Structure 1
Amino acid sequence: MHELNFILDNFINNLPKKPYCSNDLGQGLLIRPKEIAVNFKYLQANSPYYQHYLIFDLDYEAAMAEIIYSKVGIPLPNLLVENPENGKAHLLFQLETPIYKTDASRPKPIIYANAIIKRLEELFDADVGYSGLITKNPFSSEWRVSTLRSRPYSLNELALNLDLSWKEVNQPIAKDEATGLGRNCYIFHTARHWAYVEIRKFRGSTYNAWFECVLKHCQNLNCGLADPMSHNEVKGIAKSISRYCWKKDSYCYQEFIDRQTRKGKLGGRPKTTTAAGNPWEALGISRATYYRKLRETKA
């Protein structure tokens, strides 16, 4: 009981200040202060700006028994909130560090968390169409509440238990799989590959012009989703991509020059010409970078 109280205290402390809530999802959602929202059967556990919980919908009977007796060796949820009449349940995994979804967010934790969600959906036979926005309220007397673990998880701990590699984590997301955090991943992976080529048009331009171009592209991708993300989430993705490409463009350009040079050597064609005496100036790179790349090519 002490562990359950501890988890429930964390839950109420982590709630958004004004979450969505409802007693009948068919009648729509209300926005209420959390002191009032906790009296409803369903409510929003995660803030639009940060995510404390990974939530799964187990739409089959006797979910608790299935977890305890049939799904041995997989991570256990911090909270299990079930319908006492049929055992269908929502599972909540609390994160020790929330995943931020603002215009200052980093993409790596979001990509990491989405891969974890997909693996847990598979292991728990959870509903893949569930968005995770609204969950059964563990404070409502309508549900039976249990805890199977008191300590929150880190993403690394979950990934280790799930045997996830970064190569698997970093796989692109198809548009029809873009739900929840998958939307962030879909836009990030789609837009970044476009940006690697598009930035060539902005050599000699300003960063602000480049960022606005990336943001517009990300917004167009977002508009094509069935459940678009907030402007701040899209802006965060655009910032990450535009900054990376802007910072790395001279390096990518040098890589292109080196590849062309190597191809010229293999095909008997002359190397790319450079300015006599100071070839790095013609390439728009520093002297140190030029000689470092030259050593790598010879190696």
Structure 2
Amino acid sequence: MEAQPAIAGLFDERLGRRPYATDILQYGVRMMAPAVARRRRYIQANPPHLRAWSLFDIDRPGGGLAWEDRDLPMPSWVCVNRTNEHAHLSYGIEVPVLLGDYNGLDRPIRYLAALETAMRVKLGADPGYSGLITKNPHRSDVYRVLWGHRLYALGDLQGYLGNLSKYRLPANEDPLHYGLGRNVGTFHALREFAYRAIRDYWGEHGGFVHFLASLHTWGQEFTGNEHTPPLDYREVHYIAKSVARWTWARFTPAGFSKWQRSAGRKGGQASGQSRRAETAERDALIVSRVLAGEAQRAVARDLDLSERAVRHILARVRHEAISDNSPLRPNSPSRLA
């Protein structure tokens, strides 16, 4: 079948610099130049830091028409196995979603994760499919390929799915352990680890590089233990880089030391100093997470505090910030209210 030039051309443009590809999945995949990867039967359609195509694996005969059976829009492309009629469906995202640049927040990822979960349920697609590798739509000699005519805005897809509330997780709940839920879960776990690990790299030569390397290693171990299948190491790298940059820019030795002095000035016994330092560190963590946009309820739950205690801490910090006594003076003190 003749390919639609617009979608086929976008498929090529959106490939990563070194996509994974293979002809035989049992032999594993390896990175290749795009021109070589496009000739393989299986290919990595999405770059590791970007969601340009939402991919679904339909493991049943007639899978190529699952979208029509479930009153969903026509995919951007469909690849059907000629032997068993199983299929991969792909919906092109009009404005691709960054998976690695969270800027301290994960709301766009959670929205996309909710959409993909709802689509997966409605299509009856395999929840264990990671979307890393897909049937190559350029191989019409191997698969029956149907090319669509358009990309979709996320809002367009939601129009076919209705209310996403039962698929959209609140900020204080653990994400799903498949699909984009793995990205969200890894981001949150890595962020918590970074808040505490960063002090080990202050003042060290090449501190940021070593800090980033430690986050990458820790993130790989986390997703390897928590997710089946785990995230690809390049996806972990982009998440780790985003978390490392955000944390390194906002958690500084000077700020932390000044905070400790203001919270635990003038000594007392060593045990008292230690408790004050721990309290100062806890308060700094609360402030940073709230300024990053997290709900106070979620912060309280994670730190085993009452919401009232968190509100009290934030009120005190806001007062100190307005008085210019706090090392964590926010740009907008009302965010702490």
Structure 2 length-normalised TM: 0.62
C-alpha distance in structure 1 between counterparts of 2:178 and 2:134, whole Å: 16
What is the match of residue 236 of structure 1?
Answer: 242
1:48 shift after superposition = 1.9
Say if 2:183 is the partner of 1:184.
yes
Name 1:173's counterpart in structure 2: 174
Matches within 5 A, 1:99-110: 99-102=97-100, 104-106=101-103, 107-110=106-109
Would you say 1:85 and 2:71 are equivalent positions?
Answer: no
Identical positions, percent: 24
Q: CA RMSD in A?
A: 4.5
Distance 1:282 1:64, change over 3 A: closer
Contact 1:173 1:189 in 2 (8 A): no
Going from structure 1 to structure 2, the CA distance change for 1:281 and 1:113 (only over 3 Å counts) comes to closer
Paired amino acid for 1:48? P
- Where does residue 154 of structure 2 map in the other structure? 155
Q: Within 1, Cα distance between the matches of 2:91 and 2:37?
A: 21
Alpha-carbon distance, 1:121 to partner: 1.4
Mapping 1:199-278, distance limit 5 Å = 220-226=218-224, 227-228=230-231, 229-230=233-234, 231-240=237-246, 252=287, 259=312
Task: Check the 8 A contact 2:21/2:37 in 1, yes or no.
Answer: yes
Question: How far is 1:82 from its partner?
Answer: 0.6
After superposition, the Cα gap between the structure-2 partners of 1:128 and 1:252, relative to the gap in structure 1 and judged at 3 Å, is same
Structure 1 equivalent of residue 120 of structure 2: 121
Contact 2:56 2:89 in 1 (8 A): yes
* Structure 2: unaligned runs, 5 residues or longer: 225-229, 256-282, 291-295, 297-308
Which residue of structure 1 aligns with residue 304 of structure 2? Answer: none
Distance 2:124 2:168 in 1: 20
Displacement of 1:250: 9.9
Partner of 1:60: 60
1:71 is matched with: 70
Q: Kindly tell me: are residues 244 and 112 of structure 1, through their superposed partners in 2, closer, same or farther at Cα, counting changes over 3 Å?
A: farther
Distance in 1 (alpha carbons) for counterparts of 2:32 and 2:213: 32
Amino acid at match of 1:133: L
- The answer to whether the 8 Å contact 1:113/1:155 transfers is yes
Letter in 2 for 1:126: A
1:136 offset after TM fit, Å?
0.6
Give the 3-state SS of the residue equivalent to 1:225 in structure 2: helix
The number of aligned residues is 271
Q: CA deviation at 1:66?
A: 3.5
2:94 to 92, 96, 108: 96
Bigger Rg, which one: 1
Q: Provide the C-alpha distance between the structure 1 equivalents of 2:182 and 2:26, rounded to a whole number of angstroms.
A: 25
Equivalent residues of 2:212, 2:244 under 8 A apart: yes
Structure 1 residue 67: Cα displacement:
2.8
Q: Distance in 2 between matches of 1:20 and 1:261?
A: 47
Q: Secondary structure at the match of 2:130?
A: coil
Residues 155, 66 of structure 1: alpha-carbon distance in 2 compared, 3 angstrom cutoff: closer
Distance 1:40 1:285 in 2: 53
Q: How big is each residue's C-alpha offset from its partner over 1:236-290, in whole Å with a ceiling of 9 and x where there is no partner?
A: 134446768899959949996863799xxxxxxxx9xx99xxx94667798xx89
Distance in structure 2 (CA, Å) of the matches to 1:282 and 1:136: 59
For 2:51 and 2:187, locate their aligned partners in 1 and report how far apart those are by CA, in whole Å. Answer: 18
Q: TM-score, normalised by structure 1?
A: 0.69
Query: Counterparts of 1:188-199 in structure 2 under 5 Å?
Result: 188-190=187-189
Question: CA contact under 8 A between 2:14 and 2:46: conserved in structure 1?
Answer: yes
2:146 matched to 1:146? yes
Q: Distance in 2 between matches of 1:143 and 1:43?
A: 13
Quick check: 239-248 or 115-124, which moved more?
239-248
**2-side partners of 1:26 and 1:250: how far apart?**
46
Residues 22-69 of structure 1: per-residue CA shift (max 9 Å, x gap): 11111222333222222221111111232311111111111133332x
Going from structure 1 to structure 2, the CA distance change for 1:122 and 1:166 (only over 3 Å counts) comes to: closer
Q: 2:111·2:168 contact (CA, 8 Å) conserved in 1?
A: no
- Checking the alignment, whether the CA contact within 8 Å between 1:250 and 1:284 is kept in structure 2 is no
